[in-house]
Amino acid sequence: MRRNRRVKIVATLGPASAAPEMVERLFIAGVDVFRINMSHSSHDGSKALYNTVRACAARHRHPIGILADLQGPKFRIGNFETGRVQVKTGSIFKFDLDETLGTGERVYLPHTQIFDAIKPGHMLVLDDGKLRMRVVEASKVQIRAEVTTGGMLASRKGISMPDTLLPISPLTEKDKADLAHALKLGVDWVALSFVQRAEDIHEVRNLIGTRAAILSKIEKPSAVADLENVIAASDAIMVARGDLGVEMPVERVPGIQKKMTRMARAAGKPVIIATQMLESMISSPMPTRAEVSDVANAVFDGADAIMLSAESAVGQYPVEAIQMMDKIAIEVEHDPIYEPMLYATQTEPQPTGADAIAAAASAIADTVKLGAIVCYTATGSTVLRVTRERPGIPVIGLTPIESTARRLSLVWGVQTILTGDPENLSHMVRKACRIAFEEGLVKAREGVLITAGIPLGSPGTTNMIRIAFVDESGAPIAEEV
């Protein structure tokens, strides 16, 4: 099940895609990683989805990643007497701890953490950005705010504070229960919502350990401000453009997306672009031209993965949406300007021997015109270092560890194959040549570059390069250091 593109596709499972036959169709259409949204999945439901994906992977003998996306803290206002009220621009609206029904002038806000942290001048954003207010006075029991953008406000609508750093954990009690359940199932990635700073990720890392990789969703201005540290603490990041566009001016989001993509690439961490990529395909068999350009730009920027949410979870055309993403990605990667744009944003390798070896591997493969790069890896670190350079030839990740193979399904350009460790260096070269040849990635007389950490199976090391050329049977003809 080799893909003809290097960017990966993530699809959210939901009512439209939960059936085993639909999961099968989506995988064949191009899905590399399936996302389970814990906001909408019960534990029994998520277990059924997990088992369906694992069964599909077993049938096709292909690693498929599973991402469990935690809900994170949600803040909502209380109820109004009339269900909804008209809030006028320029008026003063109050939030308080009085549980009585709200009016056109005030409403209950059942979150004491907000009262503890908010300051005059901070913004309040309600109902996904439809209403906006600026705080003029704040105390432990009441917030008075000037309405800068008014409108109808209904009971139980969401409220967010883009300027306020809240003294709370990114994990609610629900999230902790969902996380324990997801880890027990054996998910490969955990997506962390409501990340405000790097310390939030360290807190969750203490709970997860090495049982799953952590993907931080960047959806808060405070996370953008601490982006370098957040990326360093994470295993991957997601540009969560929906919430980010609510909490920040929407015109800033495209530039922030590009900044995050470049910083993640420079750090060798996978980056997913998400939200509304093919939104119109929820109800239409064809996307808009703007959506096609949006997906294409993410691919041109060298993102590791592009993601569908409602399109595949509840949409009328989930398979068509995946097929469209696949076609767009393939077209972009074959465009003459793709590689010049991709390499225009390259950064210098980290000053370590392992990163220097990985950068050299890509340069050597390009200079010698080799057919593929084969990486032996236990933890995935060797593959991440090599793909960070965005080599222009296929990258094969060989690992004896199934969880590593599944996690790498999110990473740009790599085809991961589960295989045992070689017995020695000679066996390593023979196996790499045979697999590259059998997978159709190299032809007779073409060369393969092999990189690994020696001694074999030692995690975190990348210190060896070999070049070998294959004969008509896939065996090595010659080997060079």
Q: Would you say residue 330 lies in a domain?
A: yes
Q: Where in the sequence numbering do the catalytic residues fall?
A: 35, 76, 217, 275
Residue matched to tokens 């703007």: 290
Instruction: State whether 371 and 312 are in the same domain.
Output: no
Q: Would you say residue 79 lies in a domain?
A: no
- Give mean pLDDT, residues 11-35: 98
Instruction: State whether 273 and 417 are in the same domain.
Output: no
Instruction: State whether 269 and 383 are in the same domain.
Output: no
Residue 458: band (very low, low, confident or very high) from pLDDT cuts 50, 70, 90: low
Query: How confident is the model at residue 460, as a pLDDT?
Result: 59
pLDDT in tens, 270-325: 999 999 999 999 999 999 999 999 999 999 999 999 999 999 999 999 999 999 99
**Which range among 177-191, 239-253, 422-436 has the greatest average pLDDT?**
177-191
The three-state (H, E, C) secondary structure of 96-136, written as one string:
ECCCCCECCCEEECCCHHHHHHCCCCCEEEECCCCEEEEEE
Instruction: State whether 148 and 263 are in the same domain.
Output: no
Residue 354 has pLDDT above 60, yes or no: yes
Question: CATH no. for residue 232?
Answer: 3.20.20.60
Instruction: State whether 100 and 143 are in the same domain.
Output: yes
pLDDT in tens, 31-80: 999 999 999 999 999 999 999 999 999 999 999 999 999 999 999 999 99
Query: How confident is the model at residue 454, as a pLDDT?
Result: 76
Instruction: State whether 40 and 101 are in the same domain.
Output: no
pTM: 0.94
Helix (H) or strand (E) holding 181: helix 173-185
pLDDT in tens, 383-416: 998 999 999 999 999 999 999 999 999 999 999 9
Q: Name the residue range of residue 457's domain.
A: 353-480
* Mean pLDDT score across all residues of the chain: 94
Question: CATH no. for residue 398?
Answer: 3.40.1380.20
Q: Would you say residue 209 lies in a domain?
A: yes
Instruction: State whether 52 and 197 are in the same domain.
Output: yes
- What residues are paired with 305 via a beta bridge? 8, 272
Instruction: Lay out the sheet containing 464-470: strands in order across.
Output: 414-418, 395-399, 372-376, 447-452, 464-470, 476-480
Cα–Cα distance measured from residue 37 to residue 314, given in angstroms and rounded to the nearest whole number = 12
Residue 347: band (very low, low, confident or very high) from pLDDT cuts 50, 70, 90: confident
Instruction: State whether 177 and 272 are in the same domain.
Output: yes
Residue 137 has pLDDT above 70, yes or no: yes
Question: Which DSSP string do the residues of 40-100 spell out, in sequence order?
Answer: T--HHHHHHHHHHHHHHHHHHT---EEEEE------B---BTTSEEEE-TT-EEEEES--S
Last residue of a domain, one of 160, 182, 199: 160
Instruction: State whether 193 and 325 are in the same domain.
Output: yes
Instruction: State whether 202 and 318 are in the same domain.
Output: yes
Query: How confident is the model at residue 406, as a pLDDT?
Result: 97
Number of domains in the chain: 3
Instruction: State whether 188 and 215 are in the same domain.
Output: yes
Q: Would you say residue 246 lies in a domain?
A: yes
Q: Would you say residue 348 lies in a domain?
A: no
Residue 480 has pLDDT above 70, yes or no: no
Percent of the chain topping pLDDT 90? 86
Residue 358 has pLDDT above 90, yes or no: no
Q: Would you say residue 304 lies in a domain?
A: yes
Q: Would you say residue 346 lies in a domain?
A: no
Q: Which amino acid is at 83?
A: G
Residue matched to tokens 């009512």: 15
Lowest-confidence region among 70-84, 88-102, 200-214, 414-428: 414-428
Q: Would you say residue 392 lies in a domain?
A: yes
- Give mean pLDDT, residues 127-144: 96
Query: How confident is the model at residue 221, as a pLDDT?
Result: 95
Cα–Cα distance measured from residue 117 to residue 140, given in angstroms and rounded to the nearest whole number = 9
Cα–Cα distance measured from residue 54 to residue 64, given in angstroms and rounded to the nearest whole number = 8
Instruction: State whether 202 and 279 are in the same domain.
Output: yes
Question: CATH no. for residue 119?
Answer: 2.40.33.10
Query: How confident is the model at residue 1, as a pLDDT?
Result: 66
pLDDT in tens, 216-272: 999 999 999 999 999 999 999 999 999 999 999 999 999 999 999 999 999 999 999
Query: How confident is the model at residue 478, as a pLDDT?
Result: 63
Lowest-confidence region among 74-88, 252-266, 460-474: 460-474
**In contact, 368 and 467? CB cutoff 8 Å:** yes
Structure tokens at 56: 């599909």
Residue 108 has pLDDT above 90, yes or no: yes
Last residue of a domain, one of 114, 129, 160: 160
Last residue of a domain, one of 128, 160, 192: 160
* Pairing assessment for the beta strands 131-138 and 84-87 based on DSSP bridges: unpaired
